[in-house]
Structure 1
Amino acid sequence: MLIVLVFLLVSGCSSASYKTVSVDEAMKMIENGSVKVLDVRTPEEYNSGHIPGSKLIPLQVIDGLSEQLDKNQQYLIVCRSGNRSQQASELLTAKGYEVLNMAGGMNEWSGEVEQ
């Protein structure tokens, strides 16, 4: 009985999580249009080169702007190295958004870049 109770408590308290994807996986998702790209870097970093079609929402302001996002859309979160995108992914997942974190960030990106 105690084991069942512990299981129910643990499973009932589990939170949603995000998935981390490779650059190759991210490129395929962008190509087929299954994700929208959110870039959480600074405006200066974004202007130095970003994934075409990505939307800039710096990590510092993403919490306040998250209500403008569509909860029915899957988002690919990108930064320079993967650290800020991980933080943004945690925040957005906690708010009920479906997000993917791109491992390695723009440091690993080998696709097209816009300036």
Structure 2
Amino acid sequence: MAFKVPKEISPEQLEERLHQGETVMMLDVREPGEWFEGHLPGAKHIPLGALPERCGELDRNKEWVVMCRSGGRSGLACEILHERGFQVVNLTGGLLKWTGELTGERESN
């Protein structure tokens, strides 16, 4: 069965859902260095390369908004997860288009 283009959500739509207090399951598939530079508060981090063996950490009963830097890797992640029975939505334009809050885990020295 061929993979169809995943459902998509714009950064503005995601930000609106978050501002309304909706619980949104978010998955960031960027590399660790990118994650530490800034990510959405509450997002789960699993790098794309580790996703096939770590997808068991995700709740299959929830819809996941998948994100990366620009939307390419998250599109691949959506395909991987969709093939395993997950409900996925790709963040269009990735975090390059995000204008809302980001958090980082590095502390300044």
Bucket of the pairwise TM-score, normalised by the shorter protein:
0.7 to 0.9
Within 2, Cα distance between the matches of 1:93 and 1:30?
23
Q: Which residue of 1 aligns with 2:10?
A: 22
Q: Which residue of 1 aligns with 2:40?
A: 51
Q: Over residues 86-106 of structure 1, what are the superposed CA-to-partner deviations in whole Å (9 max), with x where a residue is unaligned?
A: 000011011110010000101
RMSD (Å) for aligned C-alpha atoms: 1.7
TM-superposed deviation, 1:29: 2.9
Where does structure 2 lack aligned partners over 5 or more consecutive residues? 105-109
Q: Which residue of 2 aligns with 1:81?
A: 70
Structure whose alpha-carbon radius of gyration is higher? 1
Within 2, Cα distance between the matches of 1:64 and 1:22?
28
Is the counterpart of residue 36 in structure 1 residue 5 in structure 2?
A: no
Within 1, Cα distance between the matches of 2:71 and 2:89?
11
Following TM superposition, the consecutive aligned residue runs of length 4 or more in structure 1 with deviations greater than 4 angstroms are 13-17
Query: What secondary structure does 2:50 align onto?
Result: helix
Question: What is the percentage of aligned positions where both structures have the same residue?
Answer: 36
Query: What secondary structure does 1:111 align onto?
Result: coil
Contact 1:38–1:55 under 8 Å retained in 2: yes
Residue range with higher mean Cα deviation, 50-59 or 14-23: 14-23
Within 1, Cα distance between the matches of 2:23 and 2:7?
15
Where does structure 1 lack aligned partners over 5 or more consecutive residues? 1-12
**TM-score, normalising length from structure 1?**
0.82
Within 1, Cα distance between the matches of 2:33 and 2:93?
19
How many positions carry a matched residue from both structures? Answer: 103
**TM-score, normalising length from structure 2?**
0.86
